[in-house]
Amino acid sequence: MLVAKPLQFVNFIMRFEAFIGNRIMGSVQHRRQLDAILSIDMTQYSWFMALDESSTHEIAKSSLQRFEKLLKKYGGQTISGQSGDGMIARLDSAADAVELATSFQTQMSEDPLPVFDGDIARFRIGIHVADVIHEDGFVTGTGVNIAKRLEGLADPGGILLSSTAYDLLDDKKNYNSEYVGHCKLKNIPAPVEAHRLLPDGANNMMRPVFRKNIVSIKSSNIPSIAVLPFRDLSASQNEGYFCNGLTEEIISNLSKFRELLVISHSSSSLLKNMEIPIPEIGKGLGVEYILIGSVNRSNTRMRVIAQLLETEHGNQIWADKFDRNVEDIFDFQAEVTQLIAVRMADRVEGMELTRTRTGGETENLEAYGLTLMAQENFYTYTKQGNHTAQRLYEKAIERDPKYGRAYAALSRTHIYDWRYLWTETPEASFEKALEAARLAVKLDASDARGYAELAFVHLWSKQIDAAIGLFERALLLNPNSADIMAEFADALAYAGKLEQAEETLKNAMRLNPFHPDWYLWYLADIYYGMARYGDVVSAIEQMRDQSEGHRLLAAAHAMMGNTEKATYFANKVIERHPNFSVSRWAEIQPDQDPKIQKLFLAGLLKSGLPE
């Protein structure tokens, strides 16, 4: 239970000071009070309203009724009525606001409300503590605006709170928190430091993480660039998905140039709306160039401004603006990519500047939006999130049956169903994964994602040589894809090529400095095959969410003779995967070198995991 700081006492002192001031300077009509302000808003409300207005309205109303019940429980009051998709409330303490926010997000996760085509209602929450104005039943002030702006930056289903609020919490260790840094908020002059909170049980395996020790690798004199998340300057502040998608596509397009080193989207996405000098970003990511941009939409017109900066001094070397109809967005992405390449042409020899559209991409904005929403669900790395993503990818394919990217992503959801027994028909899921991956390659033979997913299916069907060949093909098409490179490293490890696997994985970490936890999971797996058990533990301990590393920790501690720790982590494995057995695990593992598999089996059995 969190302990609230004595805001009531602070408020008494402030009211006393205000009373004295009024006696001296004359009466005023309002009073000031220190409050915890909470802003809540439904993600992609406008999108869902356009698809199904009546259903979306009812789901939003039901969700906010849940919130209001909790608000009453924690003694808070609304300070703005429902706007259809959200509201703003005040509470007596930061602790109450956080308890309310986490309770609501947990309830929405455990008992989700379906909103459209298999997707579920998700809400963002922002929290700030500030001295605000109370007058005639209304609460206003900059503190209210800050809470609203923080809410706009929170992840769907997540909570973002200012450092002012975070510092007032006791028992911070009870929360899964992450320091976000200085956030630039719209119409707020000074940057605001913030922390991200996730509800208990949230899975972070797929999410990027700020890393203190950035992996460096030897690189030639090829230019390096990072594309920061484009900012949403639209009045509605409702183009978040579009900005994310635009940023990701520009990175994907640039990554195809072999003579460029391009930082992964997952790393650059962590810098969204953060107020960090360009030279510091360049140093942190190890790049020479930074692309920044903004999006401003008005009805069907969209303006995008892009700037290319050198990172040594933060000077601008190119800038341009593009006005387009929304329907032209895919051609716009290709145009921006080509222009950036032209500006860097004097540093890049042999770069091909012409990019043509391929058959596996889409010009259907609805299919594109559904794919972005599916990806958000997929990254939760849970059974529910995987199935929601699966349905959304299928809907995207219904909108555009030739959308190769959607087939590639759909394949991965089916392979996870098979791998984690998230379905009653795992073998059927495996066949669906293979079929979807083959279709992705057939629809777009120039897209690395299709080959990578086909490689992943071949890997888990124990056709390792074929998998390695497909991963190599994918990396020829996109040499800067950190995720594909990391999965290639995993395939090399299963082939027994451990030293090459380690080197390849560390190259992937260079391209994705803020890599998600699964990179470290793969690295620990490589170390285990090398019998470097201490390095296994060290790698897993760097993971923010160590849950998927418990198998490795149990086995490594068992092999080092740490019986108590081995038993502890073996129990953790069973808590997360009640159906886990060593025999089932051995059956599906694609290890080509029997010595490596026997080594792992010995550790798992020695830890006490069921045979």
The predicted-structure confidence for 525-581, as pLDDT tens digits, reads as follows 999 999 999 999 999 999 888 888 999 999 999 999 999 999 999 999 998 888 889
Has residue 156 been placed in a domain?
A: yes
What CATH number corresponds to the domain at position 264?
Answer: 3.40.50.10610
pLDDT for 352: 37
Query: Quick check: helix, strand or coil at residue 137?
Result: coil
Q: Do residue 312 and residue 397 come from a single domain?
A: no
Percent share of the chain, pLDDT over 70? 83
Q: Do residue 502 and residue 569 come from a single domain?
A: yes
Has residue 302 been placed in a domain?
A: yes
Q: Do residue 490 and residue 379 come from a single domain?
A: yes
Has residue 326 been placed in a domain?
A: yes
Helical segments of 352-481, H only: 365-378, 383-399, 404-419, 426-443, 448-460, 464-477
Q: Do residue 324 and residue 381 come from a single domain?
A: no
Q: Do residue 283 and residue 370 come from a single domain?
A: no
| Under 8 Å between Cβ of 491 and 455 | yes
Q: Please report which confidence band the pLDDT of residue 350 belongs to, taking 50, 70 and 90 as the band edges.
A: very low
Segment 209-213 mean pLDDT: 62
What CATH number corresponds to the domain at position 93?
Answer: 3.30.70.1230
> What is the average pLDDT score of the chain?
84
Which residues have CB under 8 Å from 584's CB, separation 6+? none
Q: Do residue 339 and residue 372 come from a single domain?
A: no
Q: Do residue 336 and residue 471 come from a single domain?
A: no
Q: Please report which confidence band the pLDDT of residue 502 belongs to, taking 50, 70 and 90 as the band edges.
A: very high
Q: Do residue 316 and residue 384 come from a single domain?
A: no
Has residue 598 been placed in a domain?
A: yes
Q: Please report which confidence band the pLDDT of residue 449 belongs to, taking 50, 70 and 90 as the band edges.
A: very high
Q: Do residue 83 and residue 180 come from a single domain?
A: yes
What CATH number corresponds to the domain at position 473?
Answer: 1.25.40.10
Q: What is the pLDDT of residues 451-494, one digit of tens each?
A: 999 999 999 999 999 999 999 999 999 898 999 999 999 999 99
Has residue 353 been placed in a domain?
A: no
Q: What is the pLDDT of residues 246-270, one digit of tens each?
A: 788 788 878 877 778 889 888 888 7
Has residue 535 been placed in a domain?
A: yes
Q: Do residue 307 and residue 380 come from a single domain?
A: no
Backbone angles phi, psi at 380, to 5 degrees: -70, -20
Provide the domain count of the chain. Answer: 3
- Using the 8-state DSSP alphabet, how is residue 41 labeled? E
How far is Cα of residue 161 from the mean position of the Cα atoms in its chain? 17
Q: Which element (helix H / strand E) includes 584?
A: helix 582-588
3-state DSSP percent of the chain in helix, strand and coil, to 5: 55, 15, 30
- Using the 8-state DSSP alphabet, how is residue 319 labeled? E
Strand-pairing partners, residue 318, are 308
Range among 61-70, 154-163, 263-272 rated most confident:
61-70
Q: Do residue 19 and residue 64 come from a single domain?
A: yes
Has residue 215 been placed in a domain?
A: no
Has residue 212 been placed in a domain?
A: no
Domain closes at, from 181, 198, 215: 198
Domain containing 278: what range? 224-347
Q: Do residue 231 and residue 171 come from a single domain?
A: no
pLDDT for 11: 56
